[in-house]
Amino acid sequence: MAGSSFGTIFKITTWGESHGKAIGVVIDGCPAGLPLDESDISQYTDRRRPNGGSMSTKRIESDRVEILSGIFEGKTTGTPISLIIRNEDQRSKDYSQIADSYRPGHADYGFDAKYGFRDYRGGGRSSARETAARVAAGAIAQKLLKSMGIECSARLTAVGDIPASDPQAVEALVNRCREDQDSIGSTVECTVKGMPAGIGDPVFEKLDANLAKAMFSIGAVKGLDIGDGHLAATAKGSTNNDAFRMEDGKVSTATNHAGGILGGISNGSDIRLTVYFKPTPSIAAKQNTVNRFHEEIEMNIKGRHDPVIGARAAVVVECMTALVLVDALLLNMTSRLDRILDFYQH
């Protein structure tokens, strides 16, 4: 299957299926000398794994990450870093009912149409379990960003139309969805502080284009705003433009409608992303569908599913953002001859 790799210099390849023996990631292009141990990674993978809360699946995934290569005496060596997460709570029988049927809203039909064969156990490669591997890689990107003074963080900001700042109303909405055997959409916001100006490229490798690709590579993402995003379509130029000004001897902007990126290149303001997740497709309520034999059937999906995706996906958004930014920062090292000469002549 093509398309399991992401990035140009800081390049990751994820592998493994939800109900196979393990999942993992190989990270090539990480600079040597970064202090790194398993706890640097687990603080991110722990945020993604099910926590038994009302917004999470009841599956148990300890998601312990083992470092197989690329680290010596506590530091990255510059060689490929290989990480493995063994699968533990595999109840493949939970999924036997979807072996022949296509879950509405999920990837099952597309997989069969493409490959003529599919690993139906938990969705195989289209399962969100794959995102554990990207989060493990993103944790390393996050550590690199922090070493450069760049802070990248994401959080759940709404469940349906209820702001996450109202946890009681959110809990009530989620409980109602559970009782109705239903699920609900959600919103995640990501902010990057301390990103220097001048990172990204002007044409096909625009920073915003690469962020959009990264976000839409996450399952269930159906929309993205960068800065004011879609609101710009109804704004006027006079209010949408961010006036430049000088602040402590540096160029800055008075407002940040653009979300820190203009012409595909960072302008030094905070990068702001708003990511929209659809409701979890696997719901227990009865649904109409079709099976592999092209018969119309009704199905009730068993198994354990997240009623709200954004709760566990915030850290995935954060880590995918970090991966794009680190790659852009490393690519940018070749943009100016004076800096190349400075580097090689000293």
For 190-200, b/e burial (b = at least 16 CB within 10 A) is bbbeebeeebb
Query: CA-to-CA distance for 299 and 108, rounded, in angstroms?
Result: 14
Does 305 sit near ligand FMN (CB under 6 A)?
Answer: yes
With CB under 6 A as the contact rule, which of the stretches 4-12, 123-131, 229-237, 262-270 interacts with ligand FMN?
Answer: 123-131
Does 312 sit near ligand FMN (CB under 6 A)?
Answer: yes
Closest distance to ligand FMN from the beta carbon of 85 (Å): 14
Query: CA-to-CA distance for 235 and 238, rounded, in angstroms?
Result: 8
CA angle 155-160-161, nearest 5°?
95
3-state secondary structure of 260: coil
Closest distance to ligand FMN from the beta carbon of 103 (Å): 7
Which H/E stretch holds residue 5?
Answer: strand 5-6
Does 126 sit near ligand FMN (CB under 6 A)?
Answer: yes
Does 306 sit near ligand FMN (CB under 6 A)?
Answer: yes
Interface with ligand FMN (CB under 6 A), residue from 25, 107, 271, 320: 107
Q: Which of residues 205-224 bind ligand FMN (CB under 6 A)?
A: 218-220
Residues binding ligand FMN: what is the number (CB under 6 A)?
A: 19
Indicate the residue whose CB is closest to ligand FMN. 219
Q: Are 265 and 199 in contact (CB under 8 A)?
A: yes
Give the residue with the Cβ less far from ligand FMN, 122 or 200: 122
Q: Report the Cα 309 to chain-centroid distance in Å.
A: 12
Query: CA-to-CA distance for 42 and 291, rounded, in angstroms?
Result: 39
240-279 footprint of ligand FMN as x/- string (CB under 6 A): --------------------------------------x-
Does 122 sit near ligand FMN (CB under 6 A)?
Answer: no
Q: Which two tokens stand for residue 17?
A: 């299926």
Give the residue with the Cβ less far from ligand FMN, 106 or 143: 106
Parallel, antiparallel, or unpaired: how do β-strands 244-247 and 287-290 relate?
Answer: unpaired
In sequence order, what are the residues at sequence separation of 6 or more whose Cβ sits closer than 8 angstroms to the Cβ of residue 282?
103, 105, 106, 183, 301, 303, 305
Does 280 sit near ligand FMN (CB under 6 A)?
Answer: yes
What phi, psi does 204 have (nearest 5°)?
Answer: -85, -20
Closest distance to ligand FMN from the beta carbon of 35 (Å): 28
Does 289 sit near ligand FMN (CB under 6 A)?
Answer: no
Closest distance to ligand FMN from the beta carbon of 277 (Å): 7
Closest distance to ligand FMN from the beta carbon of 302 (Å): 12
With CB under 6 A as the contact rule, which of the stretches 124-132, 190-198, 233-241, 245-253 interacts with ligand FMN?
Answer: 124-132
Give the residue with the Cβ less far from ligand FMN, 314 or 325: 314
**Count of C-beta atoms within a 10 Å radius of residue 76:** 21
Residue 323's identity, in one-letter code, is L
Query: CA-to-CA distance for 341 and 70, rounded, in angstroms?
Result: 29
Does 145 sit near ligand FMN (CB under 6 A)?
Answer: no
Q: Which two tokens stand for residue 266?
A: 């960072």
Does 159 sit near ligand FMN (CB under 6 A)?
Answer: no
The residues of the shown chain that bind ligand FMN, judged by CB under 6 A, are 57, 106-107, 126, 128, 131, 218-220, 278, 280-282, 305-306, 309, 312-313, 316
